[in-house]
């Protein structure tokens, strides 16, 4: 990233003497990412093949939720999670655009279209946000190998173009919280089309090419969880090494700083 943390943090404008967080208008991922990120992307295919060969669960684009017994905890408590999501991410100051938080998502996350309220990010708890969601905090803490957890919010008319995840060492789970019924809200994972349902979980491998549409007049909200793929060695060694590098990289550290800046701006507004 060629700009510093303060430039990527929420911009401010003045209204009745108080600072209000607004969004920058990035439309593309910033160039000049650190060397370790560029090297990692070049080697990612090799790493993913080695991780796949060591996987203890299927390598399919969409996985059977029954392979992950803890998903039943989310389904059983989905309404409680939905209530907390509505309170923290859909009322008052909305959750920030993902483009504000993560510079590496700016090529796919149009400002104000894809918002994220982070609870965990690449192994780091977001304490301020977790404190506002105690029931969700207790539930996600029981997920084996938890890497990230956040409320993912798509505005009406949003299209997230085709992209892929960072590493096959992680698997993604969505819990449907608010799913509009007045249109077609769907995701393509490889050659499969899947749709969300409120109170249901969807587990998939985001290293497959995937894209998302919210062709409705409503807002789609899911709890998005990323967790470590169950692995034997040597794949586990490789996945752990790669994730360790990513967690210490600017890719993650800038995002953590930007979340902290956003929360500070909102706290100032609400003071």
Q: Which residues share a beta bridge with 159?
A: 213
Chain-centre distance of CA 180, in angstroms? 20
Q: Which residues share a beta bridge with 27?
A: none
Strand ranges (E), 96-232: 114-121, 124-125, 146-154, 159-163, 170-178, 184-189, 192-195, 201-204, 210-215, 220-228
Full pLDDT tens readout for the chain, 271 residues: 333 323 233 332 223 333 434 443 433 444 445 444 555 566 778 889 999 999 999 999 999 999 999 999 999 999 999 999 999 988 866 687 776 777 666 666 677 788 999 999 999 999 999 999 999 999 999 999 999 999 999 999 999 999 999 899 999 999 999 999 999 999 999 999 999 999 999 999 999 999 999 999 999 999 999 999 999 999 999 999 999 988 888 878 888 888 888 778 766 655 5
Which domains does the chain carry?
55-264 (2.60.120.330)
pTM greater than the 0.85 cutoff: no
In Å, how far are 7, 25, 33 from 29, measured between CA atoms?
14, 12, 9
Q: Which helix (H) or strand (E) holds 207?
A: none
N-term to C-term CA, the chain: 33
What is the rounded CA–CA span in Å between residue 85 and residue 64?
A: 26
DSSP 231: B
Length of the chain counted residue by residue: 271
Comparing CA positions, the residue from 47, 60, 53, 94 lying closest to residue 266 is: 94
């Amino acid at each position: 990233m060629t700009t510093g943390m303060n430039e990527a943090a929420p911009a401010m404008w003045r209204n009745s003497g108080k600072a209000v967080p607004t969004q920058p208008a990035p439309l593309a991922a910033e160039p000049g990412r650190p060397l370790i990120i560029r090297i990692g992307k070049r080697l990612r295919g090799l790493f993913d093949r080695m991780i796949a060969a060591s996987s203890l669960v299927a390598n399919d684009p969409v996985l059977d939720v029954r392979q992950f017994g803890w998903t039943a905890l989310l389904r059983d408590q989905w309404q409680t999670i939905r209530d907390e999501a509505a309170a923290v991410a859909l009322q008052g100051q909305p959750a920030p655009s993902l483009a504000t938080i993560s510079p590496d998502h700016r090529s796919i996350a149009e400002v104000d279209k894809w918002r994220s309220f982070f609870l965990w990010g690449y192994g780091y708890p977001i304490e301020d946000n977790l404190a506002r969601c105690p029931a969700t905090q207790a539930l996600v803490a029981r997920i084996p190998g938890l890497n990230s957890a956040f409320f993912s919010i798509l505005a009406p008319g949003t299209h997230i173009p085709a992209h892929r995840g960072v590493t096959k060492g992680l698997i993604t789970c969505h819990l449907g919280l608010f799913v509009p019924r007045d249109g077609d809200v769907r995701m393509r994972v490889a050659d499969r089309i899947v749709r969300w349902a409120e109170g249901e979980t969807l587990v998939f491998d985001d290293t497959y090419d995937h894209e998302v549409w919210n062709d409705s007049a409503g807002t789609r909200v899911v709890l998005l969880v990323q967790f470590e793929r169950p692995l034997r060695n040597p794949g586990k060694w490789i996945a752990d090494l790669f994730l360790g590098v990513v967690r210490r990289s600017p890719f993650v550290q800038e995002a953590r700083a930007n979340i902290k800046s956003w929360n500070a701006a909102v706290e100032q507004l609400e003071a």
